[in-house]
Amino acid sequence: MQAQRPGDILIVDADEAFSAQATQTLAQQGHMVMTCRTGAEARRHLERMPYDAVLCGWRLPDEEGIHFCEFVKGQPEMPHVAVALLIDATADDMWVAKLYIGSQDGQSNLGPDELILRSAHMQEVAARVQALLHVRRYRQEIDNALETLMSVAEGVEEQDRRARGHCKRLSIMCIELGAVLGLSEWELTALERAAYLHDIGKVAIPGAIISKVDSLTPREMEIIKNHCVLGEKLCRPRADFFHPRHL
């Protein structure tokens, strides 16, 4: 995990008293804080700057906070922005809990990362924000690790002209099969990643064996068969990027 650095925080809320207190507390901890009142203003801020985390009011003057949250989470150029909804103690707690749990069940990744009571002590709010930044950076590290592994898988294909494009073709076929089977979005994504990386263990196999045109010797065949074991060992430290909470 990378060392924590101060984050860039956007507070979207019509409660000016809360925004002022939160801004002061977070700024004292080194965070850069920008505030606005409406979803429309917040969209303009996000277009200009990639914030690390967004604290969004449950109800904004121009839209529901959950709708703004879904907007942020649905933007491909904002894959790691963490979002917390600010709620009042008088909110429908059962409905809020259901919403929060529903966003974490692996079926949707458009829900908030955190719920923060507006009545909470400001030090608790700051601690929640720090946790949001941890979540964001953890997701970045997972994506970076996955990107590295996929680059390695593509490099393996370069050792054998016959295999070029094989990982991509297989991942496409797996997605099509999974769709026919009715798999959920996160299951399809996990299946696509697994298909793309299924031959990554060949990185430890000598290129002369992989590219060999003639029949393999029994010893060479045993080495080739072992690539799936090697691939599992290579991917195991980052196996959590297949978990639905990261998809």
pLDDT confidence bin for 74, thresholds 50/70/90:
confident
> Do the Cβ atoms of 236 and 200 come closer than 8 Å?
no
Q: How high is the mean pLDDT of the chain?
A: 81
Could you tell me how far CA 79 lies from the centroid of its own chain?
6
How many CA atoms does the CB half-sphere of 162 hold within 13 Å?
Answer: 4
pLDDT confidence bin for 32, thresholds 50/70/90:
very high
**Residues near 134 by beta carbon (within 8 Å), at least 6 away in sequence:** 1, 4
Residue 133: inside a domain: yes
Residue 214: inside a domain: yes
pLDDT confidence bin for 240, thresholds 50/70/90:
low
Q: Is the pLDDT of residue 159 over 70?
A: no
Same domain for 31 and 116: yes
Same domain for 132 and 13: yes
User: In percent, how much of the chain has pLDDT > 90?
Assistant: 27
Same domain for 208 and 104: no
Angstrom distance (rounded) from CA 33 to CA 145: 30
Q: Which CATH number is 70's domain given?
A: 3.40.50.2300
E strands of 72-172, at which residues?
Answer: 82-87, 114-117
More confidently predicted of 139 and 104:
139
Prediction pTM value: 0.62
Residue ranges making up the domain that contains 207: 158-246
Could you tell me how far CA 154 lies from the centroid of its own chain?
22
Buried b (16+ CB within 10 A) or exposed e, 61-94: eeeebbebbbbbbeeeeeeebbbbbbbeeebeee
Residue 2: inside a domain: no
Same domain for 14 and 118: yes
* Residue pLDDT, tens place only, 57-67: 988 999 988 88
Q: Which of 15-19, 29-33, 203-207 has the lowest mean pLDDT?
A: 203-207
Same domain for 203 and 97: no
- In this prediction, residue 245 carries a pLDDT of 47
> Do the Cβ atoms of 193 and 241 come closer than 8 Å?
yes
Could you tell me how far CA 203 lies from the centroid of its own chain?
27
Give the count of beta carbons closer than 10 Å to the beta carbon of residue 14: 14
Residue 20: inside a domain: yes
Same domain for 172 and 63: no
Helix, strand or coil for residue 222? helix
- In this prediction, residue 122 carries a pLDDT of 94
- In this prediction, residue 225 carries a pLDDT of 85
pLDDT confidence bin for 238, thresholds 50/70/90:
low
- In this prediction, residue 190 carries a pLDDT of 81
Same domain for 186 and 109: no
Residue 223: inside a domain: yes
Q: Which of 211, 191, 193, 202 is nearest to 231 (CA)?
A: 202
Buried b (16+ CB within 10 A) or exposed e, 141-166: ebeeebeebbeebeebbebbeeeeeb
Structure tokens at 114: 């955190």
φ and ψ of 86, to 5 deg: -90, 120
The mean pLDDT value for 82-93 works out to: 76
Specify the number of domains making up the chain.
2
Q: Is the pLDDT of residue 198 over 50?
A: yes
Residue 104: inside a domain: yes
Same domain for 185 and 112: no
Helix, strand or coil for residue 9? strand
Identify the DSSP state of 214.
S
- In this prediction, residue 91 carries a pLDDT of 52
* Residue pLDDT, tens place only, 110-136: 678 888 888 899 999 999 998 888 877
End-to-end CA distance of the chain: 19
The mean pLDDT value for 102-117 works out to: 66
